[in-house]
């Protein structure tokens, strides 16, 4: 079975700045993988490449076995994305937002309706389908965006710092929801700089200044001092700010 | 293929809904050409003498002359407005939703373009209906003939807007673009005065007007409203659409994008 995500020797420079330097890692099917890095590590740039908002000539990115450079449409069809910046139309209802997204993935009519209901159920958001997005609080807006990213039943869910701006309770709830999705078999790549969003059994890729410092299970990286200390030590060694 | 049309329906529907929600935008889209028609044209009626030129077969008043130009103006403003909303969408992040769809990017941009054209045609027909209320009634079949001309001119002006939106990085820079695109395009065209009138004052200005793609959009609409076809204008507008759309595709090529922040 192909890995949900595979990056091989991906580099990207922007002028004199090396945004990503020889990045390689993979996400196995059904795993929750945290992409852990401080601000400016290159996480969002990496998300840009994985979603083809950016392209690079150096390295290779495969999503569910599809090379994003050679078969971008097949690769994009297999991912669900939640961007750091909200992408909701606040004047539309939850259901209309979902239908618009489904149509962008070529889904309409009854098939779209069934999938939208299922995705909203998965995130416990179905009773809010008729509400305008503007009426939802920050946590529910995020949950809606996650539900929306699942409508086309992707193999891989990409989330770029999805808890930014949320209160502690919403943050905990969203993190738990996405861990549940991974337990149900969905592959997840979760970008964050907050170690408390990572469970001991999760895979972790530590990214710093555009380079992968380590990929291992969270408990292995943590050691006796804990993940937060290990992360701080690693990024300090790497010359962190 | 049905998936492609689902996306087209959704994008056009969303744009139309957005437009209907923005009553101010609808109102200003109508008031702007009406002010030109009622105030400006009335003032200039006595000052500007017009000879009989195709497609007109008799003497016409100045108000009648500028109606096609005002239809073009509505589409020009609408093209730039759509462009502005694309820059806004990009700043707000919702453009990413569109760009990460697995459908081909050229198709997604074409859907956006079509949505803008649909909205502009709605505005043009609303304007023509009000103009008819002011007594400026065109040949009945002309309203029908004008439809394909408006589609093509709308596509050309929308594609120009799309290209501009790909080059403008920040919303704040947009006002400058409006001044440097809308006004020269509108005033250096046949929207307000025919080419021969322009030639009386300056050959150079006349030549610039003749090279302005907006002139040809206006002439295409003008001839269509009088149930005839201006082949030269059709060729210009179709080529203009192709060039601007190709430039827009180049502008939205992901290889040209720059990394954001973390």
Nearest CA in chain A to B95: A87
Residue B257 pLDDT class (50, 70, 90 cuts): confident
In a domain, B261, yes or no: no
Query: Does B262 reside within a domain?
Result: no
A236: exposed, middle or buried (Cβ count in 10 Å: 0-12, 13-18, 19+):
exposed
Q: Does B10 touch chain A (CB under 8 A)?
A: yes
Q: Judge whether B228 is closer than 8 Å to chain A, CB to CB.
A: no
The answer to the question of residue B114 being in a domain is: yes
CB B146 within 8 A of CB B55: no
In a domain? residue B260? no
Q: Looking at A155-164, B15-24, B243-252, which range is the least confident one?
A: B15-24
User: What pLDDT shows up at residue B235?
Assistant: 97
Which of the pair, A144 or B86, is modelled with greater confidence? Answer: A144
Instruction: State pLDDT tens for residues B93-137.
Output: 778 888 899 999 999 999 999 999 999 999 999 999 999 998 899
pLDDT for A224: 86
Closest CA to A187 of A151, A139, A153, A141: A153
State ipTM: 0.84
Given a contact cutoff of 8 angstroms between Cβ atoms, the answer to whether A105 and A144 are in contact is no
| Sheet of strand A156-160, all strands in order from the earlier edge strand to the far edge | A79-82, A156-160, A187-192, A32-36, A203-208, A211-217
Domain membership of residue B243 (yes or no) is yes
Q: What is the average per-residue pLDDT within B33-62?
A: 78
Give the other-Cβ count within 10 Å of B184's Cβ: 13
What is the percent of chain A where pLDDT is above 90? 78
- Residue B259 in domain: no
pLDDT band with cut points at 50, 70 and 90 for residue B261: very low
**What pLDDT shows up at residue B260?**
55
Residue A48 is nearest to which of B6, B97, B259, comparing CB atoms? B259
CB-CB neighbors (< 8 A) of A69 in chain B: none
Query: How do residues A61-90 score in pLDDT, each as one tens digit?
Result: 999 999 999 999 999 999 999 998 888 888
Task: State residue A240's pLDDT score.
Answer: 44
**pLDDT at residue number A158:** 97
Query: Quick one: what percent of chain A has pLDDT higher than 70?
Result: 98
A27 pLDDT band, cuts 50/70/90, is very high
Domain count, chain B: 1
Please state the rounded mean pLDDT for residues B192-218: 89
pLDDT value, residue A241: 40
Q: What residues 104-123 of chain B have any CB closer than 8 A to a CB of chain A?
A: 104, 108
Residue B16: which of B66, B65, B82, B62 has the closest Cα? Answer: B82
| Domain-located, residue B69 | yes
Beta bridge partners of B215: none
Arithmetic mean of pLDDT, A191-213: 95
**In terms of residue numbers, what domain contains B14?**
2-254
Examine the pLDDT at A23 and tell me if it is beyond 90.
yes
pLDDT tens across B152-204, in order? Answer: 999 999 999 999 888 887 767 777 777 788 889 999 999 888 888 787 888 89
> B3: which chain A residues are within 8 Å (Cβ-Cβ)?
105-108
Mean pLDDT (whole number) for A196-217: 95
Q: What is the pLDDT of residue A195?
A: 93
More confident site: B153 or B3: B153
Nearest CB to B6: which of A43, A86, A103?
A103
Q: Could you tell me where the DSSP H helices lie in chain B?
A: 2-21, 23-35, 41-44, 62-92, 94-99, 105-133, 140-167, 174-187, 195-201, 203-211, 213-225, 231-251
Whether residue A121 is predicted with pLDDT greater than 60 in this model: the reply is: yes
Asked if A105 and B4 come within 8 Å (Cβ–Cβ), the reply is no
pLDDT at A42: 92
Residue with tokens 């083809």: A52
Residue A1's pLDDT is: 63
Q: What is the pLDDT of residues B58-79, one digit of tens each?
A: 778 888 899 999 999 999 999 9
Share of chain B above pLDDT 70, in %: 94
CB contact under 8 A, B96 and A104: no
CA distance A81 to A68: 15
Structure tokens at B258: 């720059």
Quickly state the pLDDT bin for B143 (edges 50, 70, 90): very high
Q: What is the mean pLDDT of residues A145-166?
A: 94
Has residue A239 got a pLDDT over 60?
Answer: no
Burial grade of B205 (CB within 10 A; 0-12, 13-18, 19 or more):
middle
Give a yes or no: residue B160 inside a domain. Answer: yes
């Amino acid at each position: 079975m192909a890995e949900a995500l595979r990056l091989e020797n991906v580099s990207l420079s922007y002028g004199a700045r090396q945004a990503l330097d020889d990045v390689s890692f993979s996400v196995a099917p059904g795993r929750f993988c945290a992409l852990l890095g401080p601000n400016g590590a290159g996480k969002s740039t990496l998300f840009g490449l994985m979603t083809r908002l950016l392209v690079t000539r150096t390295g290779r990115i495969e999503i569910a076995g599809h090379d994003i450079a050679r078969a971008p449409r097949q690769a994009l069809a297999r991912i669900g994305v939640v961007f750091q910046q909200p992408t909701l139309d606040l004047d539309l209802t939850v259901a209309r937002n979902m239908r618009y997204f489904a149509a962008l993935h070529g889904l309409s009519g009854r098939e779209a309706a069934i999938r939208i209901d299922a995705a909203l159920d998965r995130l416990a958001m179905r009773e809010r389908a008729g509400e305008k997005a503007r009426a939802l609080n920050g946590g529910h807006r995020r949950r809606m965006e996650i539900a929306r990213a699942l409508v086309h039943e992707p193999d891989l869910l990409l989330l770029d710092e999805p808890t930014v701006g949320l209160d502690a309770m919403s943050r905990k709830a969203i993190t738990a929801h996405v861990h549940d999705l991974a337990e149900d078999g969905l592959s997840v790549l979760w970008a964050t700089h907050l170690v408390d969003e990572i469970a001991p059994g999760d895979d972790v890729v530590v990214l710093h200044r555009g380079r992968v410092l380590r990929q291992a299970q969270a408990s292995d990286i943590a050691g006796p001092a804990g993940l937060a200390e290990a992360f701080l030590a690693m990024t300090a060694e790497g010359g962190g700010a | 293929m049905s998936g492609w049309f689902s996306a087209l329906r959704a994008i056009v529907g969303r744009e139309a809904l957005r437009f209907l929600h923005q009553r101010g935008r609808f109102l200003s889209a109508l008031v702007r050409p009406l002010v030109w028609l009622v105030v400006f044209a009335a003032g200039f009626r006595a000052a500007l003498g017009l000879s009989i030129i195709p497609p007109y077969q008799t003497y016409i008043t100045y108000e009648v002359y500028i109606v096609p130009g005002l239809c073009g103006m509505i589409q020009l403003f609408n093209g730039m407005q759509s462009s502005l909303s694309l820059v806004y969408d990009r700043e707000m992040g919702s453009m990413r939703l569109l760009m990460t769809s697995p459908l081909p990017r050229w198709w997604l941009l074409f859907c956006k373009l079509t949505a803008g054209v649909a909205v502009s045609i709605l505005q043009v027909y609303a304007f023509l209906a009000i103009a008819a209320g002011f007594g400026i009634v065109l040949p009945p079949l002309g309203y029908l003939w004008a439809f394909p001309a408006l589609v093509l001119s709308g596509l050309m002006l929308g594609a120009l807007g799309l290209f501009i939106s790909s080059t403008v990085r920040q919303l704040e820079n947009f006002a400058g673009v409006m001044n440097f695109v809308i006004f020269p395009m509108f005033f250096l065209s046949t929207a307000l005065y025919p080419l021969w009138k322009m030639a009386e004052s300056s050959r150079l200005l006349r030549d610039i007007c003749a090279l302005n793609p907006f002139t040809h959009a206006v002439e295409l609409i003008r001839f269509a409203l009088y149930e005839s076809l201006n082949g030269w204008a059709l060729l210009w507008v179709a080529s203009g659409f192709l060039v601007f759309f190709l430039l827009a595709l180049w502008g939205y090529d992901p290889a040209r994008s720059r990394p954001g922040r973390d």
